[in-house]
Structure 1
Amino acid sequence: MSIQLITVVTLALVFLIATVLPVHMGALAFVAAFVVGTAFVGESTDDIVAGFPGDLFIILVGVTLLFAIAKGNGTVDWLVQVAVRAVGGRIALIPWVMFLVTAVLTAVGAVVPAAVAIIAPIGMGFAARYRINPVLMGLLIINGASAGGFSPMSIFGSIVNGVVGRNNLPSNPSLLFVSSFLFNLTLSVIVFFIFGGRELMRRKATAISLTPARAAVATPVSAHVEDVTRTEGLVSTATEEAAERKPGIGCGDSIEPGSRDETVERPKPLTREGICTLIGLAGLAVGALAFGLDVGFTALTVAALLSIVCPSSAKAAVGQVAWPTVLLICGIVTYVSLMERVGTIDWLGNAVTTIGAPLLAAIIICLIGALVSAFASTTGILGALIPLAVPFLLAGEIGAVGLIIALSISSSVVDSSPFSTSGALVVANSPEAERDRVFRRLMVWGFSMCAIAPTATWIIFVAPGWL
């Protein structure tokens, strides 16, 4: 058995064992990286640790620490109240505001993880405060980031268009952007109605005025439902979500259609600590988006300054960092880094290019892009798989523009996986009582996208041969 196949089988075993037994998947992934790396690859522990995603660790810790401080001093609640008042108390509009804001940020040049890191904590605060399904809120934020991510000014768009240009392939940057935006918008509409959007359309903010403490635990989920999600797919998940959207079970007291109660709670004046926190959050946004500062280190810097200026509200914040999520994500990514070093990704890509049927090769490339991107850097995948596909794209049997669009969308919509940076940020910023549930829902949804997105984009952009 080749080392590449060994790494693939081991990764499958990690998922199987962690699903069946109460073993932390992140710890198991670290062990797998150590065993495979030392026993089969001959790497030292220093080599293995070199694959640790230090940048992702800093982002997760920095952002969750900063927003733990913001939650503790009431700043997040204030932002929630201001935004809800701005939309007239229409709860159903709040996730779409988050979608559009995140899309605009990435379209004008923000890195996708940076935009999600800034918006996710605020959006998940809305979800907790107004009992919006956190999966709905998280997916619309992630989809919004992907929707704007392929504009000609964006990072993803620049990478794809640059790789295409260097390889002298046909390109259409505007069509790439429009196709990605419309695909993610359509996907978000589906998400909205699967995960409780119809019920949200019947509610006003006044019907569900909660204290933050109650909001954090407002959605009990039975162990029975969690066990079912281990084995059933997306359809069963949607059914469970629909069942859970009943009044009194995590979605609040419904208002009868036609209710005209427009009263919305007026935001309370910000305290000195809240003002300092708001300035810090604005500094994070400006530093990350305008000056390209690292999101994780900038967030840690702001959190440290707030701890000095306002020590009372920062005292308990470190304990609220999502450490289990950090362990999980860093463990999986460390193992995937090992797979990249031993050539597993290149091995899969090269195997595809030898397939004689061009249409079959095209959908397999999209599937590989989706599967790998669900665990690894979407940026890296876009830069690696397009060159691998160049030889058979140049043969002219498959439309280059169509395959590039399909591959780009397939590799980006799976950022909803909890093992990607965007998905991990959503999980980390979910209320603690909801975190396991959100992780499982995003895992089911993300892996469903690994199959659905490549198939759908292949049918739309590749098979007809119109691009």
Structure 2
Amino acid sequence: MSAHWISICTLAGMFVLATLLPINMGVIAFVGAFLIGTLVAGMNAKAIMGGFPADLFLTLVGITYLFALAQNNGTIDWLVKLAVRAVRGRIAAIPWIMFFIAALLTAVGAVSPAAVAIIAPIALGFAAKYGINPLMMGLMVVHGAQGGGFSPISIYGGITNKIVAKAGLPLSEMATMFASLGVNLAVSLLLFFMFGGMKLIRQRADASGEMAAPVRRVTKGQSGAQVYGDAEGESFSEEKLTASSGEDSLMDPAKAAPVEQGSRGYQVATVLGLIALAVLTLFFKQDIGFVSITIGLLLTLMAPNLQKRALGQVSWPEIMLIVGVSTYVGVMEKMGTIDFVGHSVAGLTSPLMAALLLCFVGAVVSAFASSTAVLGSLIPLAVPFLQGDHAVSAIGFIAAMAVSSTIVDVSPFSTNGALVLANAKGVDRDVFFRKLMVYGAIVTVVAPVVVWLLFVVL
């Protein structure tokens, strides 16, 4: 077996091991980079570490640190309450409020499981109280979180854009963002009308306008990500705990979380900080990692006691996963494996079919493992057939790969799907699990073909 095939089989084995066992894939990838680099490619440690993505590491630390501060100081609770009160008895608007709040959270830097952990208990509590189909409500929360996930200041968006830029491919940050939002919004619209949306439009809540509903806490026994085999789920454990404490504050102001959360001025400053992050990175092209850490430091100076907890909530397992996989892919690039695979795929079939094949691979693997790891490893493999006279549109392919690798996180074997399952109220768990599984399977099969047609073929 050639060195190229050994590295490819090792990568596949990483996905399998991280899916079957509760082991962070980043740890596996670092070991894989060391063993393949030294034993197979004859590289030294310095050469292996040359693939470590320092800029991506800084971006992930900065974004997740800033989001943790926003969550701890009550800004997230405050924004959610404002949005829910805006419903004013319109029951049909509740699923859409939850969709857009989840999208906003991921768009400003929350990892997708963290956003779903915050919103799903609230949303499914509303569903139980007002007779909204819990499957529809849960799926709209997940699709909302995925829809906002590719903004230029989000984690998915930051990862994808840096990988694409490093590969030397044409980059359109907004195209990827709107592709993800558009597809997930269209799917949610279809789900809304399939699961009783017209009936909800004709209903209204009590004249009091009180939309609060008791929520179900996410317990370790119900929603442990490792039970469902998703390595990415490790990243939101701290956020989930914070969300649990924050749920009551949404329903009962007397139970609002401590001290620093009480300052409305601090929360306004946090919102202004998030707006500043978007402006500085989108319009002034400043590095998102440095800007987010700088804004985080300014907010920390206003309430120093929050800093220690926020650092603990930085998504270190997620960061470990991403930089580990990126380092391994760097070893593969130096070995020439990326070019080898790309040319092999292009030689076996047309670039269009190669693009469809990679979209399918991304969807299937991501349904059981980490979406971020899939993006980090498959996009570099596509470089050879995205260049040249007969290449497919790189911008279109990146959009298709981004959507097909993340929209499948509705599967009950992923963290997002597991959270929906755990928080559904008044349902038969086995039946609900089967419905989620069937829906996840349909999305895994259909979504790659649809996005390939939309963004690559057309």
| TM, length-normalised to structure 1 | 0.61
Match of 1:68 in 2: 68
- Per-residue Cα deviation, 1:68-90 (whole angstroms, up to 9, x for no partner): 22222222211111122233364
The within-5 A match list for 1:347-366 is: 347-355=340-348, 360=353, 363-364=356-357
* Residue 318 (structure 1) aligned to one of 311, 320, 332: 311
Give 1:60 deviation, angstroms.
2.3
Secondary structure of the corresponding residue to residue 305 of structure 2: helix
CA distance in structure 2 between the partners assigned to 1:286 and 1:298 by the alignment? 10
Give 1:222 deviation, angstroms.
4.6
Give 1:97 deviation, angstroms.
2.6
Match of 1:140 in 2: 144
1:73 partner amino acid: N
- Per-residue Cα deviation, 1:326-379 (whole angstroms, up to 9, x for no partner): 222222222223223323232222112323678755644655787898634599
Give 1:203 deviation, angstroms.
9.9
Task: Determine if contact 2:103/2:147 at 8 Å carries over to the other structure.
Answer: no
Secondary structure of the corresponding residue to residue 218 of structure 1: coil
My pick for the range that moved more, 352-361 or 281-290, is: 352-361
Match of 2:322 in 1: 329
Match of 1:297 in 2: 290
Task: Determine if contact 2:103/2:146 at 8 Å carries over to the other structure.
Answer: no
* Residue 91 (structure 1) aligned to one of 69, 88, 94: 94
CA distance in structure 2 between the partners assigned to 1:206 and 1:25 by the alignment? 44
1:327 partner amino acid: M
Q: Structure 2 vs 1, CA of residues 379 and 124 (structure 1 numbering), >3 Å: closer, same or farther?
A: same
Match of 2:279 in 1: 286
* Residue 109 (structure 2) aligned to one of 113, 117, 131: 117
1:413 partner amino acid: V
Q: Structure 2 vs 1, CA of residues 197 and 100 (structure 1 numbering), >3 Å: closer, same or farther?
A: farther
Task: Determine if contact 2:18/2:24 at 8 Å carries over to the other structure.
Answer: yes
Give 1:301 deviation, angstroms.
0.8
Match of 2:402 in 1: 412
| TM, length-normalised to structure 2 | 0.62
Q: Structure 2 vs 1, CA of residues 209 and 64 (structure 1 numbering), >3 Å: closer, same or farther?
A: farther
CA distance in structure 1 between the partners assigned to 2:10 and 2:332 by the alignment? 10
Secondary structure of the corresponding residue to residue 218 of structure 2: coil
- Per-residue Cα deviation, 1:381-406 (whole angstroms, up to 9, x for no partner): 59935544x4446xxxxxx6xx7786
Task: Determine if contact 1:353/1:392 at 8 Å carries over to the other structure.
Answer: no
* Residue 268 (structure 2) aligned to one of 259, 268, 275: 275
- Per-residue Cα deviation, 1:309-334 (whole angstroms, up to 9, x for no partner): 22133342212222222222222222
Q: Structure 2 vs 1, CA of residues 270 and 8 (structure 1 numbering), >3 Å: closer, same or farther?
A: same
Unaligned runs of 5+ in 2: 126-136, 154-159, 231-246, 366-370, 424-435
Match of 1:11 in 2: 11
Give 1:2 deviation, angstroms.
1.9
Task: Determine if contact 2:338/2:380 at 8 Å carries over to the other structure.
Answer: no
CA distance in structure 2 between the partners assigned to 1:67 and 1:362 by the alignment? 34
Give 1:101 deviation, angstroms.
6.4
Task: Determine if contact 1:116/1:141 at 8 Å carries over to the other structure.
Answer: no
Task: Determine if contact 2:342/2:381 at 8 Å carries over to the other structure.
Answer: no
CA distance in structure 1 between the partners assigned to 2:141 and 2:339 by the alignment? 35
Count of paired positions: 378
Q: Structure 2 vs 1, CA of residues 135 and 282 (structure 1 numbering), >3 Å: closer, same or farther?
A: same
Q: Structure 2 vs 1, CA of residues 194 and 330 (structure 1 numbering), >3 Å: closer, same or farther?
A: farther
- Per-residue Cα deviation, 1:42-90 (whole angstroms, up to 9, x for no partner): 2221222222222332222222222222222222211111122233364
1:33 partner amino acid: A
Task: Determine if contact 2:66/2:296 at 8 Å carries over to the other structure.
Answer: yes
2:72 partner amino acid: G
Secondary structure of the corresponding residue to residue 317 of structure 1: helix
Match of 1:110 in 2: none
Matched, 1:34 2:50: no
Q: Structure 2 vs 1, CA of residues 125 and 460 (structure 1 numbering), >3 Å: closer, same or farther?
A: closer
RMSD: 5.5
Match of 1:456 in 2: 450
- Per-residue Cα deviation, 1:404-440 (whole angstroms, up to 9, x for no partner): 7863443221452899xxxx9x98xx99x99xxxxxx
Task: Determine if contact 2:146/2:184 at 8 Å carries over to the other structure.
Answer: no
1:143 partner amino acid: G
Secondary structure of the corresponding residue to residue 311 of structure 1: coil
